[in-house]
Amino acid sequence: MLGFGEDRLRADMNRLLALLFHQGVLDEQFLQLQQLQDETSPNFVSEVVNIYFQESEKLLRNLRELLLDREFSDYKKMGIHLNQFMGSSSSIGANRVRNVCVAFRAASEQNNRPGCLRALELLEHEYCYLKNKLHELFQIEQQRVLAAGVRYPMQN
Amino acid sequence: MRVRRKTTVLDHYIVNREQNKRSGNTIFAFSVYGPVFIICRWVLVKMSLNCKLCGSNGKLSTNFKLKKAKEPLHASNWVWKWRRLLLLMWLLVLVIGFIWLFSGLNDGALWRKEIPDLCEDKARILLEHFNVSKDQLHGLVSVFSESDQITSLKCTKESVFEMPRSNVISCALKTLCSGKQELEKQREMVLEDVKPQDQCPVPDEKFSSKLGPLLLEDKSLSFFFQSMSTSIKSTHQNYEENVLQTRALGEGKEHCESFSVCLVKVCLWVFLGVVLSCKMPGLYEKLWRNKKQKLVQQQPLGQQLQQLQQTQNSSKSAGKWRKKLPIMFVLAGVIGSIWLLWHLKDDINLRRRETLANMCDERARMLQDQFNVSMNHVHALAILVSTFHHGKQPSAIDQKTFGEYTERTAFERPLTSGVAYALKVPHSEREQFEKQHGWTIKKMETEDQTLVQDCIPENLDPSLIQDEYAPVIFSQETVSHIVSIDMMSGKEDRENILRARASGKGVLTSPFKLLKSNHVGVVLTFAVYNTHLHPDATPEQRINATLGYLGASYDVPSLVEKLLHQLASKQTIVVNVYDTTNKSAPIKMYGTNATDTGLLHISNLDFGDPARKHEMHCRFKQKAPPPWTAITASGGVFVITLLLGHIFHAAINRIAKVEDDCRKMMELKHRAEAADVAKSQFLATVSHEIRTPMNGVLGMLQMLMDTDLDPNQLDYAQTAHDSGKDLISLINEVLDQAKIESGRLELEAVPFDLRAVLDNVLSLFSGKSHAKGTELAVYVSDQVPEVITGDPKRFQQIITNLVGNSIKFTNDKGHIFVSVHLADEVKGPLNVRDEVLRQSLTLVQDWSNNSYNTLSGFPVVNRWKSWENFKKSSSTDSEETETIKLLVTVEDTGVGIPIEAQHRIFTPFMQADSSTSRTYGGTGIGLSISKRLVDLMGGEIGFVSEPGTGSTFSFTAAFAKGEKKSLNLKWRHYDPAISEFQGLKILVVDGKTIRAEVTRYHLKRLGISVDIAFSLDSACSYLSSNPNRSASSHLTMVLVDKDIWDKGTGFAFHHLLTGLRSNGCTEVLEIPPKIYLVVNSISSVERTELKSAGVVDGFLTKPLRLSVLITCFREALGIGKKRLLDRRKPSTLQNLLREKRILVVDDNAVNRRVAEGALKKYGAIITCVESGKAAVAMLKPPHSFDACFMDLQMPEMDGFEATRQIRRLEHKVNEKIESGEASMDMFANVVHWHTPILAMTADVIQATNEECMKCGMDDYVAKPFEEGQLYSAVARFFESG
């Protein structure tokens, strides 16, 4: 039963991943990330993703602050932030976030404030979506690990 | 049209000819104008031709291709110039001909007029004179036939002086008239002279001794010689005279000629000047314009317009100057014609004067001559009287004899009205004399009237008593009334007699009216002496010796009248003869009181009497006619000038017009060019602007499709997405075209892997080819290097275009075959080494299954023809090392291009026919872009196509050879995989040689050795004949083409292989060779059927390409792969990175962690820092890091700067160690510090790459890490170290 659970969880995980891939939320970089996770670093993916979340939230906050500032003019700084965001997003394979970042950066390069605001909203939305889905994924992963942990020794 | 014009001209010409023939005397004119007509015709034909040319040019120029409009314009200009030149030449010829005709006519007329006149006159005179002398001889002979020989001889001797004249004149005339007959005539003359001489002595023979005739003959001979010599002398003189005359005439003619030559020369110079002046500005402008054009090309449009205005200004000034030219020319012409008129008139007057002088002198001389002849005759008569009257006793002459003789010889003195002889009678002898004669000496009635006819001598008074008397004793019948009249009684006669006897010569009275004829006349008196006197006798002696006086009266008017009558053109001049002894009161001897007509010539007359002077006055009867020749000539010149002026005017107007047009055209051209540039710019901009939002549209559509949609909605969205994609590709094409047209497309020069590019193309079209069932294959010759430098994107674009076209037009099963060779490989069909090329060059039909030796068995066109027209650039050695020329051929078995459409296949937006776009879609821009790209790559494109068979497109492109090392990471995806399959062995079973070769090519790329069998049977025999160990032992796979796979042989083959497997060679081979079926498209039913039967192990889907092969082989060698990886990995990444201390520098925590994780996986010991500064601090020697991975974009200090600082530090340390300042111990025993620094970057651009190398980095890896790339980057540092 439990063994079955593990399989089911794995299938769920795969389905979720497939969906995310299909939607373009994630790309193969995420798979590579997963491949890097092995016995030496069992929580590698969640570790990286957590760092990503921390950094991203910081960046998003900064961006929002910069944009909401009345006499806002520091597009350069915003560009640096966005580059960071883009870099980290592409590292974990958050494809859609990255794409929105590209658009955001294009808007900021053109000093297009309304465009930037729109992009920021979109970015936040994408980011939230990604965060929720990844949390969901990690929960399933956790459950799966737990389920795997109670594996019957006879199966080996 | 041209022909018609030609014939009309010809007709005109013929009609003219007939007209000329009809008016016979104008044939000459025709012969002159004939050539002119021919020239005329030629000019006309030329003109019509030019017109036609112009017309066609016009057509061209009206074409919308404004770029070409310049050329025809030039051409028409040129043509026009030529036409102008021709016209000028024609006119020149015409004018010269005209002038020549004029001068010729003038000269001829003059000559013809003068020479015959002169000749005729002379001939007549000669005749007369000759007759005179002949008659004289006759008369003499007949009268004095009885007289003895001596006297006759004497007489002839005496009268010799009369004879030579005839000879002289005759000779002179002969030389004038005809030099040829001169001698003959003279001889005749001499004979004639001699004849009378002979006749004369003959009757005297009776009286003379026998020696007489001899003597006579001698005498006559001597006489003959004498006369000859004199005649020669006088001939000489006369000849000289003549020469002078002719020279005078010749001078006149020369003058005329030189004048005409001068005129022609002047005309020529004028023409030359005009032509030059016409040409020079043209030439100058041409040069100038050329220069300007060069400048114009370099300068922007605004300046061009400025220059255009400048051109306008300068051309305007030139135009002004040119407009003045015809006016000046016309003025010069008018002045010239006036000068010509004046000059010709002057000339005519001069000639008139000369003519008058000539005629007058001639008349005077003739008059003089005739008078002298008569005088001589009278003299002869005097001698006769002295000889026969006084010399004989008794006198042989009485009144009767004298009268008869004189009467009979009167014809010799046609001018004398009568001759009389008066005897000198002194007063002492008067009575004796009167008695002897029986009459008294009578006195003249009036003192000044002698020879009066109507007065009767009997009525006259006897003469008064005087010292001496001169009564007339003999007289001619006509004046017999004066016998017995004393001549000394008349005052005039007395003076005359006294002077005559004193001088011994003929003496003339002053003119007076002769009584009877009422004419003016003169009396000539000769004295008769008794003894022969010396020429230098004193007057006293003469007076004493005087016996009598012979007088003759001359009728001057009749004399002159007669003379003039003899001469031609007597009516043109009026002759007056004056006695000018008394200068103040000249007495008119002949002539009327004619009105003064301006011209007057006076010639002196010498009648042999020095005491008296006579003059002849000549003038023309009519006033000089208007100088018509001068008027016509100058009028002609004037008219010609006007005509030329008009022509020049028209020409200059035309030039101005053409220039104006040209300027307008230039302006339009500039505008058009500007518009063209603007169009391209607009296209480029707009395309770019469209592309950006289109990407958004596409992205959104993509997202929309990811949402929950029902099938209908999904279909709509899918359609919209596809359309958007098509639109984007179209826009891209248009953008390319615009970029190429505006010259903004620049080719890159990066090293790339040609085979990988072709693989990309294959994967692009694999879906389509599967759907259509078309076989798609790529082959690259071995001789093509792996890496070449060029623009991979554009190269791929060309091939994609061609392959796309081929796929589009290949419907049924068939193939599309892309092959790449070196251009040098196909130089000659005979020495082709490449198997594929050789196969494809000769189409061989395999009759057994009705297929050809092509990829799919379908016939194809001869590909050789597609590159036949390429310029065979023989690559020299230097070229060979630098550049390589590739020949790419795309062969298909499609519908082909209709022959009538083949010429416009490369024109943008032109498809084979309008139905094509309906059937197949597309814009038709692809080939045009391809052609332009090929041109940019320094190659050529060509094709050969047969409707129904297919088409083959070929193009060449020049590339530089590339180093494999310089190859960008992008092209090295498969490097590790290639090493994976090194050393494998595969058997390919395929019926088609070419296809087998293609498969071999692909497998060779993976380092797999290949054997080929052409059928399953031969494969079986190959496998079974070879001992297990050698052949099949290493055989990993067998690739069988589906075409030759059939169930029977397939199973047999399978069994053979399984047989091998069961033969227990397990110690050599764990796995038997797997059978893979190479298929193009296969239904899933078939697939499962074959697979379930266990006959084949798997399928390899065409088109074959590296990625497909790799995945396939990996799948096939699944276990083997693991093993291989296990075996190889330690030697690769893990081996390399194990226990290596690596510093990762990245400000981004996520990236840092990812990199750390990735590198840790290969066993590396990772240290992370998050800024450039920290990295510099960490890498300050001595340190224990083996490598550093550095992010480029970091705040504060970016990767470049950090690397630069690290390198600086290392450099210092190295210097110190080298100089021995610091021992190696201080720096961890490292001799040379150089930490490999690899850049981590998300965007792999060439520029970044170069930047990395510049600041001292060793290599770079793309983020996120990929195993292959990472390996190849790291291997460089750790394998060697």
State pLDDT tens for residues B803-817.
888 888 887 778 888
Per-residue pLDDT for B218 more than 60?
no
Confidence of residue B659 (pLDDT cuts 50, 70, 90): very high
Tokens of A105: 């950066």
Per-residue pLDDT for B254 more than 60?
no
Residues 6+ apart with CB under 8 A from B27: B20, B21
Q: Which residues of A touch B1157 (CB under 8 A)?
A: 33, 36-37, 41, 44, 48
Residue B703, chain A, CB below 8 Å: the answer is yes
Per-residue pLDDT for B428 more than 50?
yes
Beta bridge partners of B1100: B1078
Least CB–CB distance from B1154: residue in A48, A80, A99: A48
Reference B403, options B379, B421, B415, B382; nearest CA is B421
The mean-pLDDT minimum among A54-68, B341-355, B545-559 falls in B545-559
Three-state SS for A7-52 is HHHHHHHHHHHHHHHHHCCECHHHHHHHHHCCCCCCCHHHHHHHHH
The mean-pLDDT minimum among B238-242, B280-284, B767-771, B779-783 falls in B238-242
Q: How far, in whole angstroms, is CA B1277 from its chain's centroid?
A: 74
Distance separating alpha carbons of residues B269 and B276, to the nearest angstrom: 10
Check CB contact under 8 Å for A90 and B1153.
Answer: no
CA atoms within 13 A on the CB side of B872: 6
Angle between helix B301-385 and helix B211-298 axes, rounded to 10 deg? 170
Residue B1265, chain A, CB below 8 Å: the answer is yes
Q: How many residues does chain A have?
A: 156
Instruction: Give whole-number Cα distances, B1221 to B114, B658, B1215, B1235, in Å.
Output: 131, 88, 8, 21
Angle between helix B556-566 and helix B301-385 axes, rounded to 10 deg? 130
Residues 6+ apart with CB under 8 A from B1218: none
Check CB contact under 8 Å for B1150 and A88.
Answer: yes
Per-residue pLDDT for B1242 more than 70?
no
Reference B43, options B83, B76, B93, B2; nearest CA is B83
The mean-pLDDT minimum among B1023-1027, B1082-1086, B1154-1158 falls in B1023-1027
Specify the residue for token string 């004796």: B432
The mean-pLDDT minimum among B1058-1072, B1095-1109, B1153-1167 falls in B1058-1072
Residue B663 confidence (pLDDT): 95
* Each residue's pLDDT tens digit, B21-71: 444 443 444 444 444 445 445 544 444 444 444 444 444 444 444 444 444
Segment A76-98 shows an average pLDDT of: 85
Check CB contact under 8 Å for A48 and B703.
Answer: no
Check CB contact under 8 Å for B1149 and A55.
Answer: yes
Beta bridge partners of B885: B958
Distance separating alpha carbons of residues B725 and B1076, to the nearest angstrom: 37
Segment B9-30 shows an average pLDDT of: 44
Nearest chain A residue to B1264 by CA distance is: A91
Reference B523, options B534, B512, B515, B537; nearest CA is B512
Q: Pick the residue of B706, B1144, B1154, B1265 with the most A CBs within 10 A to test the interface with A by mutation.
A: B1154
Per-residue pLDDT for B491 more than 90?
no
Tokens of A149: 């942990």
Q: Average per-residue pLDDT in chain B?
A: 70
Q: Which residues of B touch A93 (CB under 8 A)?
A: 1264
Residue B702, chain A, CB below 8 Å: the answer is yes
Q: Which residues of A touch B1263 (CB under 8 A)?
A: 87, 90-91
Reference B406, options B483, B468, B513, B495; nearest CA is B483
Please report, rounded to a whole number, the percentage of residues in chain B having pLDDT higher than 90: 1
Per-residue pLDDT for B168 more than 50?
no
Residue B766 confidence (pLDDT): 81
Least CB–CB distance from A88: residue in B699, B1151, B1157: B1151
Nearest chain A residue to B1267 by CA distance is: A32
Q: Which residues of A touch B1153 (CB under 8 A)?
A: 47-48, 51
Confidence of residue B458 (pLDDT cuts 50, 70, 90): low
Confidence of residue B617 (pLDDT cuts 50, 70, 90): confident
Distance separating alpha carbons of residues B1281 and B1277, to the nearest angstrom: 6
Residue B845 confidence (pLDDT): 63
Residue B312 confidence (pLDDT): 57
Contact B122, B116 (CB under 8 A): no
Residue B1012 confidence (pLDDT): 83
Per-residue pLDDT for B188 more than 60?
no
Q: Are strands B1098-1101 and B985-989 parallel, antiparallel or unpaired?
A: unpaired
Q: Which residues of B touch A83 (CB under 8 A)?
A: 1193
Reference B433, options B418, B422, B449, B447; nearest CA is B422
Decide which of B1163 and B229 is more confident: B1163
The mean-pLDDT minimum among A135-149, B51-65, B83-97, B651-665 falls in B51-65
Q: Pick the residue of A91, A99, A125 with the most B CBs within 10 A to test the interface with B by mutation.
A: A91
- Topology, domain A2-32+51-146: Four Helix Bundle (Hemerythrin (Met), subunit A) (1.20.120)
Instruction: Give whole-number Cα distances, B693 to A115, B687, B688, in Å.
Output: 14, 11, 9
State the smallest CA–CA distance between residue A1 and chain B in angstroms: 32
Contact B909, B836 (CB under 8 A): no
Check CB contact under 8 Å for B1264 and A29.
Answer: yes
Q: Which residues of A touch B1148 (CB under 8 A)?
A: 55, 84, 87-88, 91
Reference B1187, options B1256, B1258, B1116; nearest CA is B1258
Confidence of residue B671 (pLDDT cuts 50, 70, 90): very high
Instruction: Give backbone dihedrals phi and psi of B1039, rounded to 5 degrees, phi first.
Output: -105, 120
Segment B751-776 shows an average pLDDT of: 84
Least CB–CB distance from B1151: residue in A22, A80, A87: A87
* Each residue's pLDDT tens digit, B932-967: 888 888 888 888 888 888 888 889 888 888 776 666
Check CB contact under 8 Å for A87 and B1154.
Answer: no
Tell me how many helices (H) and strands (E) chain B has: 34, 31
Residue B821 confidence (pLDDT): 87
Per-residue pLDDT for B109 more than 70?
no
Decide which of B278 and B790 is more confident: B790
Tokens of B1071: 């796995």
Confidence of residue B661 (pLDDT cuts 50, 70, 90): very high
**Which H/E stretch holds residue B452?**
none
AA letter at B37: F
Nearest chain B residue to A40 by CA distance is: B1161
Nearest chain A residue to B1196 by CA distance is: A80
Segment B163-180 shows an average pLDDT of: 42
Residue A37 confidence (pLDDT): 78
Residue B1145 confidence (pLDDT): 87
Q: How many residues does chain B have?
A: 1281
Per-residue pLDDT for B995 more than 80?
yes
State the smallest CA–CA distance between residue B1251 and chain A in angstroms: 19
Return the C-alpha torsion angle B855, B858, B861, B864, nearest 10.
Answer: 20
Nearest chain A residue to B1161 by CA distance is: A36
Residues 6+ apart with CB under 8 A from B145: B203
Distance separating alpha carbons of residues B122 and B168, to the nearest angstrom: 12
Q: How many CB atoms lie within 10 A of CB B926?
A: 22
Confidence of residue B1092 (pLDDT cuts 50, 70, 90): confident
Per-residue pLDDT for B1128 more than 60?
no
State the smallest CA–CA distance between residue B871 and chain A in angstroms: 49
Burial B822-838 (b: 16+ CB within 10 A, else e): bbebbeeeeebebbbbe
* ipTM beyond cut 0.90: no
Residue B500 confidence (pLDDT): 81
Per-residue pLDDT for B666 more than 90?
yes
Provide the phi-psi class of B773: left if phi over 0, else alpha when psi is between -120 and 50, else beta: left
Check CB contact under 8 Å for B1161 and A51.
Answer: no
Q: Among B246-255, B769-778, B862-871, name the most confident range.
A: B769-778
Least CB–CB distance from A83: residue in B1193, B1263, B1264: B1193
Nearest chain A residue to B1243 by CA distance is: A87
Contact B1044, B991 (CB under 8 A): yes
Residue B123 confidence (pLDDT): 66
Residue B1279 confidence (pLDDT): 58
Residue B70 burial (10 A CB sphere; 0-12, 13-18, 19+)? middle
- Gyration radius from chain B CA atoms: 67
Residue B1029 confidence (pLDDT): 47
Q: Among B562-566, B773-777, B913-917, name the most confident range.
A: B773-777
Contact B615, B577 (CB under 8 A): yes
Q: Pick the residue of A19, A23, A36 with the most B CBs within 10 A to test the interface with B by mutation.
A: A36
* Each residue's pLDDT tens digit, B1093-1127: 767 777 777 788 877 787 777 777 764 444 444 43
Per-residue pLDDT for B8 more than 70?
no
AA letter at B316: K
Per-residue pLDDT for B1058 more than 80?
no
Q: Average per-residue pLDDT in chain A?
A: 81
Tokens of B878: 């230097």
Nearest chain B residue to A37 by CA distance is: B1157
Residue B670 confidence (pLDDT): 94
pTM: 0.40
Decide which of B1030 and B705 is more confident: B705
Residues 6+ apart with CB under 8 A from B894: B806, B808, B809, B810, B811, B814, B950, B951
Segment B218-227 shows an average pLDDT of: 43
